[in-house]
Chains A and B, each alone.
Chain A
């Protein structure tokens, strides 16, 4: 098909990646600051000029496709009934679709919670509740209050199928922008992602792009097809599973440490063991978690907030720094890049903390239960102990001089038996920063995207 230009409009950087499908190879990559506040095309053109300079000449592109997490990404509210069941299911669907879940609501929602949806400038609401044939009263109440309060943003209903008609009536009655999908939890502990996720992507494509200032360069690009995290998830899945004759890497984890969030992706089944009992809501094969309080710039203060005063003092004493001052400096100047050895040292430390804590929240737990029939193992979440590859991405990982140390923080360094962290993975880095771009390309040319991923994602130098 010729030359593709793949664009990732990130919160901080606009990253470009040019590939040629006949050569099945990268032509070049370039990036510049995202300029969504003024005119997004300024940053895009700066990056494009850099790209042409790198390639050596101006080339024509047959297709230009983009993913975006600019202007705060895709912000969603997940509403369900019980926290551990439909609320959790709704949350996982949002994350799997590449959204940020800025609001999580359960049971009967109240007026002040509905007001928060407006205050937080939520883009899409996912309304769930009730297994099929189960509770109907709560979702109807919630749909009704959303309607009464005049909510006009897109609402996806993915709850108990028995009330789909009544929900549709509420949508019609209040002239809401409502959509009906299959239940995210049709049976207790069974997760069904696909229907609601596809609808989220669909709405993102048709409506959200416009609101995020990307409409301005619509005539220069063919399509914005995915939220960026969703593109990374697609790339991770492709690299794990393979395509046609091109084999994949098997079970893997991707760690993406960014300025505002730390995203963690795992592509594997819940467990390979036959001697454990799995508890709780079913885990997705391709799972994404996002830590909104762990990041290198916007969210740097969050890293320290989760520590006790004593822990902060210990860090200051051991590392001979003032860590609170350092995170505030980064928070107040989100575009800052390390200028000297000291800055690099602090960034390295923060990245290690992000990797450690993000895995702590992503991986499953196992406990030994002593029963009259002997010891049994009870597992909640995903068992990542047998993961073969951990792939690091994001500016801080790519530019670190000690990449191994950051990625090793996701393994079980403290030998905590209860945490199902990876035990002996191979550590890899997305050194050319192409994962999101290849996720995009995988939607059109999966085989070529896979070959490029395998070529450019390298074992740590």
Chain B
């Protein structure tokens, strides 16, 4: 069974979407490790190491995603999980910015996939299954 670490990064307390993601991924047959809201980069990485996770799925809904996610890939490399998949999704920047521009920022940061605001988790499922080889 593949393991996915999920949580909401930074000073962000949006708990509802987090629960929906957990529910959906469990139903799809994944081992889900939900570290919840107000989580730091280190919380995600530590949980991924202990659980031997294949994917870290970062949610951010309050617009500060860019600041909160900066340097996360570098920390994964330092922590010995350089090959882990990193996804990010939600309202990751403030306001209605051009998404192709936003996407590029996060891809440059080392995220493997970046999802625009309002993407239901079901729509992301195809990508997850493809990346995890199922």
Question: What residues of chain A have their CB less than 8 Å away from a CB belonging to chain B?
Answer: 81-82, 84-86, 129-131, 133-137, 185, 187-189, 277, 279, 369-373, 376, 378
Whether a CB of chain A sits under 8 angstroms from the CB of B47 is: yes
| B1, A84: Cβ atoms closer than 8 Å | no
Q: Is the CB of A134 within 8 A of B52?
A: yes
CB<8 Å pairs between A and B, sample of 8? A82-B46, A84-B46, A130-B52, A134-B3, A137-B52, A188-B47, A277-B13, A370-B11
Q: Which residues of A contact B47 (CB under 8 A)?
A: 85, 188
With known contacts A133-B3, A369-B11, A372-B63, A277–B50 Cβ distance under 8 A: no
Judge whether B102 is part of the interface by a CB distance below 8 angstroms.
no
Complex Cα distance, B46 from A279, in Å, reads 13
Interface check B42, CB cutoff 8 A: yes
A364 to chain B, nearest CB (A): 15
B37 at the interface (CB under 8 A from A): yes
Q: Which residues of B have CB within 8 Å of A81?
A: 49-50
Closest to B1 in A: A133
| A155 to B116 Cα, complex, angstroms | 50
Is B62 a contact partner of A131 (Cβ separation < 8 A)? no
> Are A135 and B49 in contact, with the CB atoms below 8 A?
yes
A369–B50 Cα distance when bound, in Å, is 27
A137 to chain B, nearest CB (A): 8
B62 nearest CB across to chain A (Å): 5
Closest chain A residue, CB of each to CB of B51? A134
A134: contacting residue among B35, B43, B50, B62, CB under 8 A: B50
- From 22 to 79 in chain B, residues with beta carbon under 8 angstroms from any chain A beta carbon are 31, 33, 35-38, 42-43, 46-47, 49-53, 62-63
Number of interface residues of B (CB under 8 A): 23
How far apart are A275's CB and chain B's nearest CB, in angstroms? 12
Shortest distance in angstroms between B98's beta carbon and chain A's nearest beta carbon? Answer: 22
CA distance A374 to B58 in the complex (A): 22
Contact A85 B46, CB 8 Å, known A133-B3, A134-B3, A134-B52: yes
- A369 adjacent to B38 (CB under 8 Å): yes
CB of A381 to closest CB in B, whole Å: 15
Q: Which residues of A contact B43 (CB under 8 A)?
A: 279
Q: Which 9 A-B pairs have the closest CB atoms?
A: A134-B51, A135-B52, A82-B46, A134-B52, A188-B47, A369-B11, A371-B11, A131-B50, A372-B62
Q: CA–CA, A275 to B51, complex, Å?
A: 29
- Most A CB contacts (10 A, CB to CB) among B12, B13, B36, B42 go to B13
Instruction: Report whether B13 and A376 are in contact in the complex, using a CB–CB cutoff of 8 Å.
Output: yes
A356 to B33, alpha carbons, bound, how many Å? 38
Chain B: which residue is nearest A372 at the CB level?
Answer: B62
The CA of A82 and the CA of B46, in the complex, are separated in Å by 6
What's the minimum C-beta distance from B104 to chain A, rounded to whole angstroms? 25
Chain A hits for B53, CB < 8 A: 134
Task: Determine which of A130, A370, A376, A378 lies in contact with B50 in the assembled complex, contact meaning CB atoms within 8 Å.
Answer: A130
Contact B13 A371 (CB under 8 A): yes
In addition to A134-B52, A189-B35, A373-B13, 20 A-B residue pairs with Cβ atoms within 8 Å of each other are A81-B50, A82-B50, A85-B46, A85-B47, A86-B50, A130-B50, A131-B33, A131-B51, A133-B1, A134-B3, A135-B51, A137-B52, A188-B35, A277-B13, A277-B36, A369-B38, A370-B11, A371-B11, A371-B62, A373-B62
Bound together, the chains give a CA A187 to CA B51 distance in angstroms of: 8
Bound-state CA distance A95–B37 (Å) is 30
The one of A133, A279, A370, A372 in contact with B38, judged by C-beta atoms closer than 8 angstroms, is A279
A187 contacts which chain B residues (CB < 8 A)? Answer: 33
Question: Residue on B with the closest CB to A133?
Answer: B31
Which chain A residues border B14 with CB–CB below 8 Å?
373
Residues of A within 8 A of B46 (CB): 82, 84-85
CB distance from A93 to the nearest CB of B (A): 16
Chain B residues, Cβ within 8 Å of A378: 38
Kindly provide the distance from the CB of B25 to the nearest chain A CB, expressed in whole angstroms.
Answer: 15
Whether the Cβ atoms of A277 and B38 lie closer than 8 Å is yes
Q: Which chain A residues lie closer than 8 Å to B37 at the CB level?
A: 277
CA distance A220 to B63 in the complex (A): 71
CA distance A133 to B3 in the complex (A): 9
B3 → A minimal CB distance (Å): 7
Q: Report how far A189 CA is from B34 CA in the complex, Å.
A: 10
Knowing A133-B1, A370-B11, A373-B13, the reply to whether A82 touches B63 (Cβ < 8 A) is no
- A134: which B residues are within 8 A, CB to CB? 3, 50-53
Residues of A within 8 A of B35 (CB): 188-189
Residues of B contacting A369 in the complex (Cβ-Cβ under 8 angstroms): 11, 38
Q: How far is the CA of A14 from the CA of B18 in the complex (A)?
A: 56
Contacts of A137 in B (CB 8 A): 52
Which chain A residues border B33 with CB–CB below 8 Å? 131, 187-188
Q: Could you tell me the distance between the alpha carbons of A187 and B52 in the complex, rounded to whole angstroms?
A: 12
Chain B residues within an 8 Å CB radius of A86: 50
Name B71-94 residues within 8 Å CB distance of A.
Answer: none
For the complex, what is the distance from the CA of A85 to the CA of B33, rounded to whole Å? 14
Q: Which residue of B lies closest to A83 (CB)?
A: B46
CB distance from B1 to the nearest CB of A (A): 7
Residue of B nearest to A279 (CB): B38
Contact B31 A85, beta carbon cutoff 8 Å: no
CB distance from B46 to the nearest CB of A (A): 5
